[in-house]
């Protein structure tokens, strides 16, 4: 990590910024799928504010936001500028006692951030270009491992939507191929049900189909071929649900799938492989 006098900078900063620019997402109009992500985050975590943010060269820009009055901040004020330094969610239980943020303009002035949690938006190339984040004006010391996984699952949703729209010829356009991936879900009191795996990453998945009644934060077993994954229901609406994995699945298996798609292979997909995203319907 390189350290600027105002904010930390990842070692891969130049390549990271190139990756961000290729998505052509900065300064675009609001869109329902990203608005859905922040609405779900706000409800799941019972926070007043949430955002999908992208960390540009010298600013943080918010593609979607709830409970936040501004559309961008200086990068030096952005908590998310720290989140992108790692592939894991970053949690700040109380910004006033964290030396990185205790004198931050967004802490000492409106919106008076005390609690922050953010999960990075990681491209297939491994660059962290932004975050899905939640904030509160009161500290929170009990943000558990399950909630971190749920937040990471929402970041997977946002990132998969970016990948889905990637320009033709770009490696990220692999999600445009119509490769189907199927599996089943089961659990306590839930009969094994066949589902389509609409999108999958190492940290979570979107499933769709004629789903059985699912409880938010309830446990499920997701079976894909010979792979069995213990998951938590991050959210569920109508025929679509987001799952957060208890433990990350093997990224090598996902990479093999990506390589086959890019090569034009249309054989049935195997366990853990990635398929096109299913965008959840807008919330009422």
* CATH number, domain with residue 257: 2.40.10.430
Report DSSP letters for 154-175, one per residue. Answer: HHHHHHHHHHHTPPTTSGGGGG
* Range in 78-82, 122-126, 168-172, 181-185 the model is least confident about: 168-172
| Res. 276 pLDDT band, cuts 50 70 90 | very low
Domain for residue 119, yes or no?
yes
Domain for residue 102, yes or no?
yes
The domain total for the chain is 2
**Residues 153, 237 contacting (CB under 8 angstroms):** no
Domain for residue 253, yes or no?
yes
Is pLDDT at 273 greater than 50 in this prediction?
A: no
Domain for residue 272, yes or no?
no
- pLDDT tens-digit map of 175-189: 333 344 678 899 888
Do residues 137 and 68 share a domain? yes
pLDDT at residue 166 in the model: 61
Tell me which residue range forms the domain holding 232.
177-262
pLDDT at residue 172 in the model: 39
Do residues 151 and 69 share a domain? yes
CA angle, residues 160, 161, 163, in degrees to nearest 5: 60
Round to whole Å and give the CA distance between 88 and 66: 23
| DSSP state, residue 5 | S
Do residues 84 and 14 share a domain? yes
Average pLDDT rounded to a whole number, residues 87-91: 94
Do residues 121 and 258 share a domain? no
Do residues 8 and 117 share a domain? yes
Domain for residue 281, yes or no?
no
Residue closest to 129 by CA, chosen among 18, 37, 244: 18
- pLDDT tens-digit map of 5-21: 588 999 899 999 999 99
pLDDT at residue 223 in the model: 86
- What is the token pair recorded at 195? 């589902």
Do residues 185 and 75 share a domain? no
Domain for residue 283, yes or no?
no
- What is the token pair recorded at 269? 């997909």
pLDDT at residue 224 in the model: 78
Domain for residue 274, yes or no?
no
Q: How many CB atoms lie within 10 A of CB 205?
A: 30
Do residues 160 and 187 share a domain? no
- What is the token pair recorded at 217? 């934060």
**Residues 185, 222 contacting (CB under 8 angstroms):** yes
Of 164, 185, 213, the position where a domain reaches its end is 164
Is 0.75 topped by the overall pTM? no
Do residues 7 and 66 share a domain? yes
* CATH number, domain with residue 76: 3.30.450.40
Round to whole Å and give the CA distance between 270 and 254: 9
| Res. 84 pLDDT band, cuts 50 70 90 | very high
pLDDT at residue 283 in the model: 36
Do residues 104 and 9 share a domain? yes
Average pLDDT rounded to a whole number, residues 262-274: 39
Of 164, 195, 211, the position where a domain reaches its end is 164
Do residues 26 and 104 share a domain? yes
Length of the chain: 284
Domain for residue 78, yes or no?
yes
Do residues 115 and 59 share a domain? yes
Do residues 18 and 143 share a domain? yes
Q: How many CB atoms lie within 10 A of CB 30?
A: 11
Is pLDDT at 153 greater than 80 in this prediction?
A: yes
Report DSSP letters for 26-50, one per residue. Answer: TTPPP-HHHHHHHHHHHHHHT-SEE
CA distances from 124 to 173, 261, 280 (A): 10, 14, 22
pLDDT at residue 171 in the model: 40
Round to whole Å and give the CA distance between 151 and 225: 26
- pLDDT tens-digit map of 208-261: 888 888 887 788 998 877 778 888 888 787 788 888 888 877 766 655 544 443
């Amino acid at each position: 990590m390189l350290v600027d006098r105002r904010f930390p900078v990842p070692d891969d900063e130049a390549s990271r910024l190139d990756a961000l620019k290729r998505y052509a997402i900065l300064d675009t109009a609001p869109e329902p799928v990203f608005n859905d992500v922040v609405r779900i985050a706000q409800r799941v975590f019972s926070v007043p504010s949430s955002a999908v943010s992208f960390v540009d060269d010298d600013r943080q820009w918010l593609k979607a936001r709830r409970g936040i009055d501004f559309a961008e901040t200086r990068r030096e004020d952005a908590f998310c500028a720290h989140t992108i330094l790692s592939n894991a969610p970053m949690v700040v239980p109380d910004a006033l006692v964290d030396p990185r943020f205790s004198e931050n303009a967004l802490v000492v002035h409106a919106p008076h951030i005390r609690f922050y949690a953010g999960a990075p938006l990681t491209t297939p190339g491994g660059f962290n270009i932004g975050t899905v984040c939640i904030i509160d004006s009161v500290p929170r010391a009990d943000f558990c491992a399950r909630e971190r996984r749920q937040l990471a699952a929402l970041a997977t949703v946002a990132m998969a939507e970016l990948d889905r729209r990637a320009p033709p010829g770009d490696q990220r356009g692999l999600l445009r191929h119509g490769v189907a991936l199927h599996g089943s879900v089961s659990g306590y009191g839930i009969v094994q049900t066949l589902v389509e795996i609409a999108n999958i990453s190492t940290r979570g998945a979107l499933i769709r189909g004629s789903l059985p009644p699912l409880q938010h934060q309830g446990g499920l077993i997701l079976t894909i071929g010979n792979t069995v994954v213990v998951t938590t229901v991050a959210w569920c609406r109508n025929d679509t649900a987001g799952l957060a994995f208890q433990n990350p699945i093997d990224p090598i298996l996902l990479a093999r799938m990506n390589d086959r798609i890019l090569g034009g292979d249309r054989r049935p997909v195997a366990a853990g492989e990635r398929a096109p995203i299913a965008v959840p319907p807008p919330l009422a």
